[in-house]
Each structure stands twice: as structure tokens, then as C-alpha cells.
Structure 1
């Protein structure tokens, strides 16, 4: 079963930039100055005998006219089953095939297998998906970051939090690797048991992120590794071309919890960004271990007091860098949890009449993220970051500084 990102459903898209949108998916053109390339990789890493799965997003100078194509948003039909059973459980199994066909017609705005543009070393962002997500669920965010000159490594986690997850395992004790699919693992219904279940998953996620960063360092060093996916892509293009001094960690929901945990455990990450972070599995007292700058961007409708209190404990202990705080909590008005992902562009959703459109949400998110990275990862005090400062008013009117969640003073 092919799942290398180059399925037969992927075709050239002659209308690659039409009215500011990518034909077939409706994702906005990335806001940075660079075109974006992508490639899947499953390196066999020390400490993991089944390989880690990434989608790498990076700057490129290639265009569709040079023979590269925009890959399908859905790498394999199995992912459609995972999405539908978890996001839209009312769909019967027989509908999955038709929905998979629909998804396979949607393309990601990152040319698959295109050569890497590395006139300057690429800083690195590790990206962790949320529950039911995968390596392409946040393609709009990852492509936008890559268009600003970053290598973004979107991990597909093997902790049973993905709707479906793809890996390879050795067959019957032999040295031959065969395809293996990992289904979604439904958590226990009990609140305490669910937290234990999620904490165990978070432990796996932490290991995968740290092994993933080890791999990125190996990619920059020798450029040589064992790739369990068949690929003609020359990964040695990255050799000596990655900026491992400027490395950030980022994620959505459960990926936000993964971000906080990774910052606490590995100081190679200089900055963190959590999108609508699911804080409940994060250990108490972690605010004493997180030293790096950290930005939380929340949705308007999803967060609750206990989760926000854990965020605020981290934010409130953050030092100030000159006149700017290194920890910030921002909320985007009238937004939903999945507005931080591609889901709003792909699946039909019921939106409030006062909700901003998904393109505006993405643009606002990216403006905040790029501003925070420029200020704290690059320590650039000249970068225009008014949307990060409480004293200024965001032009879109949807940036709310702090949280809209009501927290009782006795809590």
C-alpha cells in the first residue's frame, strides 16, 4: 500500500495560484517570499525500530512547470476512515470510499520532491499534531512557516492519537519491513483513567519529538540515514544547510502539550508555540522546568478553566526580555478548536455568523507566530510585532490579549 505522498491521485495543478488560493483545496497561498516543497521520510532512528514518519516542508525555487506536483492532502484512503470515524461518526462505513475520493482531489500547497532552496541555513521547527491528526493535517500552517524560510518537520505520532497512522515493521522476525497501520485508540471514559491514558501517550510523543530532532541533526551532519520509504529525493541537500541554533517547537491541542513537555525536557528548542493547547496531561509544576519563550494562541470556544490555569502558571513566571514578556497568552475571537488546522478548509462546518473566515484566522495565526519567532528566536527588536503587544489594536479586530475563559479567584 503506497503512502509516500506520491499516490496516483496526485496530478499537476496548472492553476497553482488562482485568485490567491490553491486550486482544488482552497488553502491560501503561503504568505512568505518562498515557494514551498515537501517530502515524506521515515528514518530508522536509534531507539525506534519501526522508523519515525515526517512530512518535511521547506523553501524551494521550483514551480509546477518544472515537473513537480502538489501532493494530495490525504496520503492514503485509510486516513479518510480515521477522520470520518472520529470527526464525523454519523457517516456509515460505505461512505468512507467516496469521501476518500473527494479528499484525494484536494492538494497541498507544497510541491512534492522539489529541490531545497538553501542560500542560507534553514532554521528548524518541529511540529506536533493534535488528536486524530497526522503529518498533513496542518499543511496550511506548515507551508506558511516554510515560505518564511524554515524547515518544518511535521511528525506523525505512533501513540494511537492519530485517526490512523502508517509505519513499517519487520516481518516475522526477518529483516524485511512491511506496511503496518495503527488505528486510533479510544481513551477510557473515566476522567482519571483518561488522563493516565493521555499521559502515557504524551510520554511516547515526547520520545518521538526528541528522536526526531536527533534525526534532523543527523540530516544536517552526514545527510546519510536508512529511509524506510522508497524515495528518489536527495536528502543530502540538507547536509550542512540547517540552522540548529535557531530551533523551535510547535503544536496544536495535544501537540501543544507535546510542545510544552519538549521545551521542559530539551533545551535545544529555543522557542515554543502552542495552538489551543490541551494542557490537562501536562505534569503539574512544569512551569519550573520551562525556561524558553512560549506563546499560547487559543480559540474562543474550546478552552476551560483548569486548562487555562495551567497555561497561566507558565505565562506568569516568564521573565521579561527588555520591555517584552517572553511568555504570552492570546485568544482569537469567535474561533473554534479546529480552526487552527486544515479541517475548516476541507470539511464542511457550521460556523457562527460572527466567526471570522478560516483564511483570516490562518493569516492572523501566522502573523502572530512569525512575529513571536522574530522577536524571541531571532531576538529582532525591530520586527513589527504590534499584534503581540497589549497596548496596540490588531487591524483585524479578532486578537484578544489574555483569555476569555472565566476563572474563579478561589481556583
Structure 2
């Protein structure tokens, strides 16, 4: 149930996220486009290294008509204080591509901020600048006019340069991503306290209805792929995050020093086809005798079984582009969401009925594997 929120001052001090929240039933509210505008198709083309003109037509044909299963700017439904989830997208993704996860969390009573990262790992994003500031920016971008005399500056995915070492770039990005998750939480804290929000996007949503709506003692971080690594970095940096859920996490960007500094519970939910021994061994560096660290693997899934793409393509194209695995996508995302809700209830101390799915946390389902399907030598951990 999203309202879209953005708070901009400059490229580094602003926060950009789509906010999902429990809403009142309404006949007037419209459903937002899944892909907000054509620049995101261009960004996806760049990320996939294909021609923009051709791909824009293909992407628009395949995905241009899809709407997110939620209502835009619908009135907030107050029913006690809501726990909070900050969600981090994967490499080449952006804020709207995980609506099946975020909308489900909101429908279960969470307020979810799906962050769009400005570290040049998103396929495309934008921010607003005053005209006078444009000359001082060095990043590759294009501009278009925006409301209130501001200029919309587009920033596209930054590919690894020929001969460039990948770790320094990804490590710098994961640190910025974690900071952006923390900043999003700070903005929600301001909203919760009743402070006026400077929102650069036009919206009909009444932000004052969110005053005192959030339970800021019950906050979790969640993310997919690069977003999974971002979860771990964010837990390391900010103790307000009480636990984390990492969906098919890509562990490469993280410093080894990060692992022993993370003190919160973590739940790794992996796909069957993406993981490899080196990546799993880095996850296992977080194993603890005193802090709950859980891992399950969903049978028949691929890395793209978590973003919405898996639902929006036919079987043939989906498998050709590795957007679908062998399992029914709805079964896979339901297992992931239910296991997540059970884990969040356990570690945020929620008084819900999500504990009915506790067995999933331990892989107790015919479509789940407890731990991993990947063989990892103990000596490599």
C-alpha cells in the first residue's frame, strides 16, 4: 500500500524511498505504475548492456502496463503502532521492483520504506538540484525540469571500468547504501515525531497521519542480493535495527571486519541456483552460538525469484532470462514472506500470529532446505 516519499537537499543528504503502509479501503485511490517512467527502462538497458532504443520498446511492451498491487496515497489505517522495515534493492534494481514483498509486509501491519540507492548501483535514479548547483556536480547524468524551480538530475548505473578492481567500488557502495538505509530510518523518525517533511515529490498523502504511528523499538532491515549485504552493513552500523533478513545475499562487498561486529539476529533466505561455496562461507562467518543466525534455501528458485520480474514474464521468456525457476513463483514468494514474518515476530517481539510459520525458519517444508544445498568446507569459513 504505497505512498511515494522523497526528501532531497543534495545528492548525499537526501533520501529517496517508496513507503508502503497499511491503508484504509478506498474507491478513489489509483494503483501506481510498476516502472515509474522510461528512464528506468533506459537504466535497465544500460545495466544489461543492450541497446536503449530497442530495449525501451521491448521493456515497455513486456512491462509498461503493469501496476503495483497497492493504492497510491491512500489514507493510512491506524491500528496500533506499526513495526518498521527498511528494504534495500539489488544491483541494477530500483525502489519499485520488490512490491510483492513490500506490499505483503505492509498488509501484515508493517511500515516499509523501500530505498532507492544513490551509489550508482541502481540501474537508474534521480535527485533534485537547484539550477545553480548543477555546474558543481561531476557525475554522469541528464536533466529535465522539475517542480518548484528544481532540476531533476538522472543518475545511471556505473559499470565496472576495464581493469578496475571490483572490491573497492562495491565496498564503498555498500557503506553508502547502509548510510542511506539509516537516513531513511531517520526521516521516518522525523515523520513519526510530527516534524514537517520537506518532500520534493508532489503527493496527496497527509504525512501528519503518520505521527506516532511507528514502533521505533521494532525496526528490521531487509534486502535482496547487494541489498542483503547492505542489511549486514546496516546492522553493523546501527543498533536500532533489531534484526535483518537477507534474501539471496551477495556477500562480496563486505569487509571481513564487519562480521564480528554484527550483534543482531540474521535470517538468510537463499535461492537454490545462485549460491556458491565462497559466498556461503562468508555467510557462515556470521554463525554464532549466542545470537540466532538462520539459513534456509527455497527449492527450485533462482536469484531473480525475489524481485517482481518473476511474476511478470511468461514461462518461456522467464526461464530463458533466468527470471523464473522450476518452482511456482507465488509458492516461492509466499514461503519467503511467511518465513520472514515468523522471524520478525520472534526477534521484534510482535504480538501477531506469525509464529504459525515458525517451522519454515528451520526449513520444515517440502520446498525448503534447512541451511544450504551448497557444500562448504569447514576450513574455508
Same fold, TM-score > 0.5, yes or no: yes
Cα separation, 1, equivalents of 2:165 and 2:245:
28
Which residue of structure 1 aligns with residue 23 of structure 2? 60
Residue equivalent to 1:362: 333
Which of 270, 287, 312 does residue 346 from structure 1 map onto?
312
Distance 1:264 1:181, change over 3 A: same
Q: 8 Å contact 1:253–1:276 — kept in the other structure? A: yes
- Secondary structure at the aligned position of 2:21 is classed as strand
The 1-side partners of 2:352 and 2:76 are apart by: 29
Match of 2:235 in 1: 263
Q: Secondary structure at the match of 1:125?
A: strand
1:184 aligns with 2:157: yes
Asked if 1:69 is matched to 2:69, the reply is no
For residue 243 of structure 1, give the secondary structure of its aligned residue in structure 2.
Answer: strand
What are the equivalent positions in structure 2 for 1:9-408 lying under 5 Å apart? 37-44=1-8, 48-49=12-13, 51-63=14-26, 66-87=27-48, 89-90=49-50, 93-100=53-60, 102-173=62-133, 176-188=149-161, 193-314=165-286, 316-319=287-290, 326-347=292-313, 348-350=317-319, 355-378=326-349, 383-384=355-356, 385-389=358-362, 393-394=364-365, 397-408=366-377
The verdict on how the C-alpha distance between 1:243 and 1:409 changes in structure 2, with shifts beyond 3 A counting, is closer
CA distance, structure 2, for counterparts of residue 157 and residue 354 of structure 1:
27
> Are the structure 2 counterparts of residues 381 and 214 from structure 1 closer, same or farther at C-alpha, using a change threshold of 3 Å?
closer
Instruction: Extract unaligned runs of 5+ from structure 2.
Output: 135-147
Provide the aligned C-alpha RMSD in A.
2.3
Change (3 A) 1:62 1:45: farther
Contact 1:331/1:401 (CA < 8 Å) preserved in 2? Answer: yes
Residues 44 and 225, structure 1, Cα contact 8 Å, conserved in 2: no
Judged with a 3 Å threshold, the aligned counterparts in structure 2 of structure 1 residues 102 and 407 are, in CA distance, closer, same or farther, namely closer
What is the CA-CA distance between 1:256 and the residue it aligns to? Answer: 0.6
Q: Is the 8 A contact 1:45 1:211 kept in 2?
A: no
TM-superposed CA distance for 1:346, in Å, is 2.5
Deviation at 1:171, TM superposition (A): 1.0
Q: Structure 2-normalised TM-score?
A: 0.88
Q: Can you give the 5+ residue segments of structure 1 that lack an aligned partner in the other structure?
A: 1-36, 321-325
Instruction: Tell me the CA shift for residue 193 of structure 1.
Output: 0.9
Q: How far is 1:42 from its partner?
A: 1.1
Q: How far did 1:44 drift?
A: 3.4
Instruction: Please state which structure has a larger fraction of its residues in helix.
Output: 2
- 1:189 deviation in Å? 5.2
User: Alpha-carbon deviation of 1:373?
Assistant: 0.7
Deviation at 1:90, TM superposition (A): 4.7
> Do the aligned partners of 1:280 and 1:306 also contact (CA within 8 Å) in 2?
no
How far 1:47 sits from its partner (Å)? 9.3
Aligned in 2, Cα 1:408/1:43: closer, same or farther, shift over 3 Å? same
8 Å CA contact 1:293–1:376 kept in 2: the answer is yes
Distance in 2, matches of 1:367 and 1:286, equals 28
Inter-CA distance 381–400: structure 2 relative to 1 (3 Å threshold) = farther
Contact 2:87 2:113 in 1 (8 A): yes
Return the alpha-carbon distance in structure 2 between the equivalents of residues 100 and 138 of structure 1: 18
Shift of 1:40: 1.1
Question: What is the TM-score with the length of structure 1 in the denominator?
Answer: 0.82
Q: CA deviation at 1:100?
A: 2.3
Pairwise CA distance, 1:98:
5.0
Tell me the CA shift for residue 386 of structure 1.
1.2
2-structure distance, mates of 1:165, 1:212: 16
